[in-house]
Structure 1
Amino acid sequence: MSVPDRTSGTSGIVGGAAAGAAAYLLGYLFAYVTQAGAIEDQLAGFNVFAELFGGDPIPTWQAVGWVFYNGHFVETRVPSLVGGSQLTNLISQADGGSLTLLYVVPPVLLVVAGLVASRVAGEREPADGAKNGAFVVAGYLPLAVIGAFLFRHTVREATIAPDLITAVLLAGAVYPAVFGAIGGAGATLLSD
């Protein structure tokens, strides 16, 4: 009679959390490395006016965060000229090019993270692999919530930031759960 291994659940969560955190950080890093120059150029005019009128210029790292969240289909809340705010996706407004790649990077990184989490847990069955792959939420969700607040920029009374609800629910929970589970299940199928 064999004794069930009770440590695999803990290692699955820890491995999933680590893989999820790595996927988030690598995704942002990819967005920063590929888009920072172009975003900085686009912000130059606005930042000159902001400084002229005593406002704070928008840091490039924050604007890259908006685009990173847009890659998860999380819109950016920007002040409206008529008051209030409106939601916009900066990627969909661009002329294509390398920005469109940002829609692909988060799912790919999360599939790989799910695959790694499943391998670390040593799963052999697709359902168990999917469960362990979905544990990437444990690392991705907290960073998605923190990022939604870090990538917030206030101009006078108006704020530019990722939409908080979709940043938490879509980018932080749904994306890692779905794509991590796909990667986790795929890891068990690849090991056979």
Structure 2
Amino acid sequence: MSQRTATGSLGKTLGVGAAAGALSYVVGYLVTYLWQASSVQERLESYNAIVEFLGGDPIPAWQAVGWLFYNAHGVAFTYPALGEGQASRNLIADGSAAMLLYLVPAVVLVLAGFVLARYANADDPSTGAKRGAAVAAGYVVLAVVGLFVFEYTAGGSAIHPEYVPGVLLAGVVYPAVFGAVGGVLGSVTAT
């Protein structure tokens, strides 16, 4: 195989992997939103009523669901705490949200890795893992963007997913590991 063919194949794999990763991020968020938006909205009602009474902007449910989506990756969000400055919280880890939410990004990424391995005709686990892990190329971009999109700012304070774990854990580790697992599954089940 020529160098040009190998490079073109790698570029195509990364391009398809990036697209699959970006789509996985969006699908994972949408599943979380559809499942949890009404519950999140209900929890925010009393807080938002006070904020609106004081003339502030209420927290939109779609942003709070974003925090929950990052929580599903093991990433806490920071919020202003009286007398403490900033505090961190993971609603799933502390039992305030369904533990099954941890499965959302994992399952979506395994499926994406599986599809990528099948698309690339990966016929051995090593190749499948590499093809599946390519989802990280697109997932990390949206994971970084999401850190800022899901930031709520009021009165000089902000609530947002933690930045470093948001990039490393949600953006790199989760898609690389679960995408690779899906890729291995895709390669070993190929006929």
Distance 1:95 1:119 in 2: 38
Distance 1:87 1:35 in 2: 20
Counterpart amino acid of residue 183 in structure 2: G
Corresponding residue for residue 20 of structure 2: 19
Q: Deviations over 1:6-46 (max 9, x none)?
A: 34322211221121111111110011001000110111111
Percent of aligned pairs sharing the same letter? 46
Taking the TM superposition and a 5 Å limit, the aligned residue runs for 1:178-189 are 178-189=177-188
- List 4+ stretches of structure 1 deviating above 2 A: 2-8, 92-96
Corresponding residue for residue 148 of structure 2: 149
Q: Tell me the secondary structure at the aligned position of residue 147 of structure 2.
A: helix
Q: Tell me the secondary structure at the aligned position of residue 92 of structure 1.
A: coil
Distance 2:146 2:14 in 1: 22
Distance 2:123 2:150 in 1: 39
Taking the TM superposition and a 5 Å limit, the aligned residue runs for 1:129-144 are 129-144=128-143
Distance 2:47 2:75 in 1: 23
Corresponding residue for residue 66 of structure 1: 67
Corresponding residue for residue 116 of structure 1: 115
Q: Which runs of 5+ in 2 are unaligned?
A: none
Q: Tell me the secondary structure at the aligned position of residue 38 of structure 2.
A: helix
Q: Which runs of 5+ in 1 are unaligned?
A: none
Corresponding residue for residue 40 of structure 1: 41
Q: Tell me the secondary structure at the aligned position of residue 72 of structure 1.
A: coil
Corresponding residue for residue 127 of structure 1: 126
Q: Tell me the secondary structure at the aligned position of residue 77 of structure 1.
A: strand
Instruction: Verify the 8 A CA contact 1:74 1:170 in the aligned structure 2.
Output: yes
Counterpart amino acid of residue 33 in structure 1: L
Q: CA deviation at 1:157?
A: 1.6
Counterpart amino acid of residue 57 in structure 1: P
Instruction: Verify the 8 A CA contact 1:11 1:121 in the aligned structure 2.
Output: no
Q: Deviations over 1:66-88 (max 9, x none)?
A: 00000000001011111410110
Q: Deviations over 1:84-135 (max 9, x none)?
A: 1011001223455xx2221011111111111111122222121111111111
Paired residue total: 189
Query: What TM-score comes out, normalization by structure 1 length?
Result: 0.93
Q: Does 1:169 align with 2:168?
A: yes
Corresponding residue for residue 160 of structure 1: 159
Distance 2:190 2:175 in 1: 22
Q: Tell me the secondary structure at the aligned position of residue 90 of structure 1.
A: coil
Corresponding residue for residue 51 of structure 1: 52
Corresponding residue for residue 91 of structure 1: 92
Q: Deviations over 1:49-82 (max 9, x none)?
A: 1111121100110000000000000001011111
